[in-house]
């Protein structure tokens, strides 16, 4: 079973690296899947301040709520992994990697999105808080004038459903006396005081679902649906500072960092083979799998790779090798005490586990603190560091141990400790005789 598992693992590593570098079918290469941060691709960084007299816990609660609303909005807009952080007591910084139109993005972030449905007599029948969902879709009806346009499909909560049904029924039956510029059978949809649409009611609409039709394009309908879903900001924000970040410096630094990381990994792998021979080869196999795990986990978590994140990956590579070095040192000690290669490997791993777990757990605690209290790029560093530590424990404990035990138990390699940088039994006996000489 160990042989089969070792072969399967080697095949998985080879396939994993091929897919990571070249891609296969619908699976794109890693370089096209990893999302890059503001410091690498450029974008918009905007600092906003809340206009409020609240203080203490009330202010903190409002700012946390505002942060969540803004995160929801920019995510709905399809912007690439935004970073929304609270600075000080009443300021919020929003970083939008890949954003091209700074003014448009800022308007959409700060928009209060107060949606109202108003009948012709001026009564507000429901608001955006009654809207359960809003999505954009291509028009599917029979009206030839609307073919090729997009609609906003609205779904109301239970309260909004009843209110909307009663309003459409009154408008349809002519029970509304117009006191505005609208006809009695119209219901105006108002967003922040501006009319979006004022459709005529053709029949009472039960069920809590309706559709806004008009001459909407795909992008316009999607943005409007996103604002409606986002809800209203609990406070008014005004722009304090805006920065357009260019990607040239970040991309150049990223290339240098990646090259430096690759050179570092190759040098580490070479040094491990020179210093530990066969044991170094097993460590290199584990290291290859380790890099794959870290990068693909980052993709799976939809993490954003920043320059500090690259630094975290490179640092964790060194920590992964450090775990193997501890294990090999223990194996050498067991071997020098006169144990065979197989027994030395078994005992060495048991002795090293406590030290490895203790050192890695303390680092994970530090990374967790950084992730919880840090902002933006600091969180990116902490995330990649945590992923790297967990991956290093797995590869050192499972992968390195699997291959080392397999080699130690084999007839070809198990009887030749020198292939693993260890001393043969004959040399150890000679050392004992030399030590027991007569003066």
Mean pLDDT of all residues in 50-73: 81
List the single range of 318-322, 377-381, 384-388, 391-395 with lowest mean pLDDT.
377-381
Question: What pLDDT band is residue 163 in, cutting at 50, 70 and 90?
Answer: very high
User: Residue 262's pLDDT is what?
Assistant: 83
What is the rounded CA–CA span in Å between residue 370 and residue 383? Answer: 9
Q: What is the pLDDT of residues 224-239, one digit of tens each?
A: 777 676 556 667 788 8
Query: Where would I find the H helices in 26-112?
Result: 30-33, 38-41, 56-76, 102-110
Query: Any idea which of 81-90, 161-170, 224-233, 237-246 has the lowest mean pLDDT?
Result: 224-233
Residue 318 confidence (pLDDT) above 70: yes
- Helices 307-336/278-300 angle, 10° precision: 150
370 CB contacts (<8 Å, ≥6 apart)? 378, 379, 381, 382, 385
pLDDT digits (tens, 9 = 90+) for 167-179: 999 999 989 988 8
Name which of 290-299, 300-309, 430-439 the model is least confident about. 430-439
Mean pLDDT of 287-313: 82
> What band does 431 get if pLDDT is binned at 50, 70 and 90?
very low
Above pLDDT 70, what percent of the chain? 82
The answer to whether residues 305 and 35 touch, using CB atoms and an 8 Å cutoff, is: yes
At 425 the pLDDT is: 55
Matching fold, domains 43-111+235-245 and 115-230: no
Query: Averaged over 367-388, what is the pLDDT?
Result: 79
Confidence of residue 315 (pLDDT cuts 50, 70, 90): confident
What's the predicted TM-score (pTM) here?
0.60
Spatial neighbors of 399 by CB under 8 A, at least 6 apart, are 9, 282, 285, 286, 289
As beta bridge partners, residue 84 has 94
* Confidence (pLDDT) at 14: 92
Q: What does the pLDDT read at residue 238?
A: 83
In the prediction, which pLDDT does 192 show? 59
Residue 428 has pLDDT above 50, yes or no: no
How sure is the predictor about 105, in pLDDT bands with cuts at 50, 70 and 90?
low
pLDDT category of residue 309 using cuts at 50, 70 and 90: confident
CATH number of 115-230: 3.30.1360.200
The predicted model gives 327-353 an average pLDDT of: 84
pLDDT, residue 100, reads 65
Q: Encode 404-432: b = buried (16+ Cβ within 10 Å), e = exposed.
A: bbbbbeeeeebeebebbbbeeeeeeeeee
Fold of 43-111+235-245: Alpha-Beta Plaits (3.30.70)
The yes-or-no verdict on residue 436 having pLDDT over 70 is: no
DSSP code for 2:
H
The rounded distance, in Å, linking the Cα atoms of 359 and 386 is 13
pLDDT of residue 432: 44
Name residues whose C-beta falls within 8 Å of residue 311's C-beta, 6 or more positions apart in sequence. 257, 381
Please indicate whether residue 196 or residue 123 has the higher confidence score (pLDDT): 123
Specify the higher pLDDT residue, 34 or 386: 386
- The ranges assigned to domains in the chain are 2-34+248-426, 43-111+235-245, 115-230
Paired strand residues for 241: 47
Read off the pLDDT band of 15 (50, 70, 90): very high
107-146 pLDDT, tens digit each: 666 665 567 889 999 898 888 778 888 888 998 888 888 8
Q: What is the pLDDT of residue 97?
A: 75
pLDDT (average), residues 302-311: 75
Find where tokens 């084999």 sit.
410
3-state secondary structure of 213: strand
Average pLDDT score over residue span 421-430: 53
* CATH number, domain 2-34+248-426, options 3.30.2140.20, 3.30.1330.10, 1.20.1640.10, 3.40.30.10: 1.20.1640.10
Give percent helix, percent strand, percent coil of the chain, each to the nearest 5: 60, 20, 25
């Amino acid at each position: 079973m160990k042989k089969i598992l070792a072969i399967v693992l080697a095949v998985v590593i080879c396939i994993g690296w091929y897919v990571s570098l070249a891609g296969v079918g619908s699976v794109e290469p890693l370089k096209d899947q990893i999302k890059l941060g503001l410091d690498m691709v450029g974008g918009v960084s905007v600092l906003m301040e809340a206009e409020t007299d609240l203080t203490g816990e009330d202010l903190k609660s409002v700012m946390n709520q505002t942060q969540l609303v803004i995160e929801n909005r920019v995510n709905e807009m399809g912007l690439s992994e935004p970073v929304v952080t609270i600075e000080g007591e009443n300021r919020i910084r929003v970083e939008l990697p890949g954003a091209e139109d700074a003014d448009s993005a800022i308007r959409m972030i700060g928009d209060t999105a107060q949606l109202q449905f108003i009948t012709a007599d001026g009564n507000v029948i429901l608001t955006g808080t009654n809207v359960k969902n809003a999505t954009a879709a291509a028009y599917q009806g029979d009206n030839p004038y609307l073919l090729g346009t997009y609609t906003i499909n609205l779904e109301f909560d239970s309260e909004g459903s009843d209110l909307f049904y009663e309003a459409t029924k009154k408008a349809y039956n002519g029970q509304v006396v117009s006191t505005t510029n609208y006809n009695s059978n119209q219901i105006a949809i108002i967003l922040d005081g501006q009319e979006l649409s004022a459709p005529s009611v053709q029949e009472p609409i039960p069920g809590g679902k309706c559709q806004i039709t008009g001459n909407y394009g795909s992008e316009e309908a999607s943005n409007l649906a996103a604002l409606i879903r986002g809800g209203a900001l609990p406070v008014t924000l005004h722009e304090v500072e805006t920065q357009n970040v260019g990607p040239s410096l970040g991309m150049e630094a990223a290339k240098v960092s990646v090259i430096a990381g690759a050179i570092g990994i190759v040098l580490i792998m070479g040094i491990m083979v020179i210093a530990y021979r066969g044991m170094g080869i097993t460590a290199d196999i584990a290291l290859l799998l380790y890099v794959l795990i870290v990068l693909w986990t980052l993709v799976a978590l939809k993490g954003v790779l920043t320059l500090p994140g690259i630094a975290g990956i490179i640092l964790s590579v060194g920590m992964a090798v450090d775990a193997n070095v501890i294990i090999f040192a223990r194996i050498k000690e067991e071997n020098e005490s006169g144990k065979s290669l197989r027994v030395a490997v078994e005992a060495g791993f048991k002795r090293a586990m406590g030290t490895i777990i203790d050192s890695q757990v303390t680092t994970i605690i530090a990374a967790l603190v950084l992730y919880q209290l840090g902002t933006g790029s600091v969180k990116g560093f902490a995330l990649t560091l945590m992923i790297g530590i967990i991956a290093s424990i797995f590869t050192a404990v499972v992968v390195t141990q699997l291959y080392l035990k397999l080699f130690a138990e084999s007839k070809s390699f198990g009887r030749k400790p020198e292939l693993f940088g260890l001393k043969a039994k004959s040399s150890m006996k000679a050392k004992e005789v030399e030590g027991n000489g007569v003066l």
